[in-house]
Amino acid sequence: MEILGRKSILIILDAILVNLAIIAALFIRLDTIPGNLLTNYLNYALFFTAIRLGIFYQFGLYNRVWQYASIGELVSIIKAVSLGTLAHVFLVYAFFSGDFFPRGVVALEWMLNIILIGGSRLLWRMMRDGYSKRRKYSMDSKPILIVGAGDAGVLVAKELRNHYNGEITIVGFVDDDPAKQTLKVLGCDILGRREDIPSLVRQYFIEEIVIAMPSVSGKIVREIVDICQETGAKVKILPGVFDLIEGNVTVNQIREVEVEDLLGREPVKVDLQSMSDYVFDQVILVTGAGGSIGSELCRQIVAFYPKALLLLDICENNVYEIEMELKEQTSIPLVPLVKDVRDKEAVNQVFKEYKPRVIFHAAAHKHVPLMEENPEEAIKNNSLGTYFVAQAANLHGADRFVLVSTDKAVNPTSVMGASKRIAEMIIQHLDRSSKTNYAAVRFGNVLGSRGSVVPLFKKQIARGGPVTITDENMIRYFMTIPEAVQLIIQAGALAKGGEIFVLDMGEPVKIMDLARSLIKLSGFEPGEEIEIIVTGMRPGEKLYEEILTSEENVNVTTHKRIYVAKPNNLNTSLIEETMANFLQGKLPYGQIETERFLQSFLPKFKIVCHDKRQPRDTMKIIGLGGGQGEGGCGVCGVWTKGPVPLSIEKYLDKKIGL
């Protein structure tokens, strides 16, 4: 009813204005209106008015929210008025012998219609925005400072004013651009640069600071957040460009600063056409569909309209949750499959029954310390499971198989990383003789995934600390889950067979800095209110992660964030023997057998002394390799797993300047 009432008011107003425009045009052109002209017009005024209003309706002038009117709405008004004027001219010359009005009146009437119709809409917006009279803020309105006087800052200011009206006062903007200093934006002053924020907070009693710089790097965001946190004001942020849709901003998008903002990266740009070409109208299988990466793969894949999506996971709760979530988003057929990738018969039955054309293999054990304690399970799930799914893809003629791998597969010091490296070797071997295109995608840590350090830190902070890190020099690469998955799907489009795609992970982040930032974002002071404790490196951990082995040569792809490596020197006989053993159920059992199995593929893989009583300082260092200490144990005689701290520190000093 309210909408109909608003439309009725606009229609009545326009009816008055279009007639007023003609009468005003006659007065301007003729000074006085001859009686015959006025009589002629009044006889046909209803007819002409109906034509005008009908054209206005067709151009949607009564279906717009005019309090947000902009240039687009003005263009629509000009088009509608122009068409209406042409219609009038045609009718006059067709039915009234061309002497209905003097010709000069037509141009004046066209111009006055644009002014009156457009002006009425502008007045509506002015009344909505409060520009018709100076705003009177209440004494208890919240003073807000906006960091960033660009497009995003303007959008934030408008949204805050529209939503909160007199509840907030936008004191002004801060921007580092020298050309903007002393200027005004939306009637508010640009008060200075980022270094002026503390003094501005004190001067204007700022209660809240909104960072509206969605396209800047994480480094700049960190610097600004550090400055803002010193002031005691509440800090909020506009999401990155990746999260904004067509420049629209809502109050709900202006949120608390998260750690993802501090790690801000250049938004991912993908070739949607190439991604759609190999997913559209195909049966797609995602293994590990309920995990962090697998579930996001499912969310993004349905946007490309596959024929069907197979959701395979060993955990029934995971399958149920992702199926229920996707059912609310899409009508694409979903097939929930509670299966184990280690069950060869079950995997083959899935391929036989549903015939998937594209497989994203995300099922894996990923927890490094847990796999150190259960090494044979890493082989079963990560190596054998990959082989069973990859071999089924080959036997049933799938088009493409994409293995979700990890940077821990490069020069692995962990059982988990080594098991994933063997999985890479297996699919590369299969690619040599199969019509299926096999590829692997390597990337580092993803924020928010299960087992990620960020959720752990948040839990520790919520308990009041301490926050634990394993080494103060440890660094990692981070991506968001949606970003990683977009690049996985894009890499699948680039696959020709046998490649290992390496994702550009951006700048490395020191875990110590990450812990401190997260503590500050939670409103505490690191080292004072929340303690940080260094616990020592866990078995299988590295201070840093690599993306390529020494045998791999990296090449660029058509996507600037994806690189490709095609290693050779695969041990064909060993891989074939291993696959034969997998088919016969022959697997390594226990720690020693598993580690020897891994060493058969990776001779430099270093393992721990099996005498748990053996002190670390009895290990005899006999050489350095790649920054790692390699040595023999006086008790069991096997290789010892690095790192040797001094060697790694020297290596890091040389390589990345830590």
The residues assigned a catalytic role are 408
Token duo for residue 320: 């149920």
Could you report how far apart the first and last alpha carbons of the chain are, in Å?
A: 67
Where is 127: in which H helix or E strand?
A: helix 103-129
**Cβ contacts of residue 503 below 8 Å, gap of 6+?**
441, 442, 443, 479, 484, 487, 491, 561, 562, 563
> Taking the CA of residue 502 as centre, how many other CA atoms within 13 Å lie in the half-sphere pointing to its CB?
22
CA distance 425 to 217: 36
> How would DSSP label each residue in 241-256?
GGG-BTTB--GGGSEE
What number of helices (H) and strands (E) belong to the chain?
A: 22, 24
Token duo for residue 590: 């226990």
Token duo for residue 295: 């579930």
Q: Are 265 and 483 in contact (CB under 8 A)?
A: yes
Q: Classify residue 47 as exposed, middle or buried by CB count within 10 Å of its CB (0-12, 13-18, 19+).
A: exposed
Length in residues, the chain: 658
Tracing tokens 């309920």 back to the chain, one arrives at: 290
**Region of residue 271 (left: phi > 0; alpha: psi -120 to 50; beta: else):** beta
Token duo for residue 405: 């791998």
CA distance 283 to 334: 10
SS3 5: helix
SS3 340: coil
CA distance 391 to 430: 8
Of 475, 478, 404, 480, nearest in space to 655 by CA: 475
Token duo for residue 308: 């069907």
Token duo for residue 151: 């497009």
What are the angstrom distances between the C-alpha of 66 and each of 69, 113, 166, 327?
A: 5, 17, 21, 36
Nearest-10 crossing angle of helices 35-58, 2-30? 140
Where is 188: in which H helix or E strand?
A: strand 188-192
CA distance 398 to 400: 6
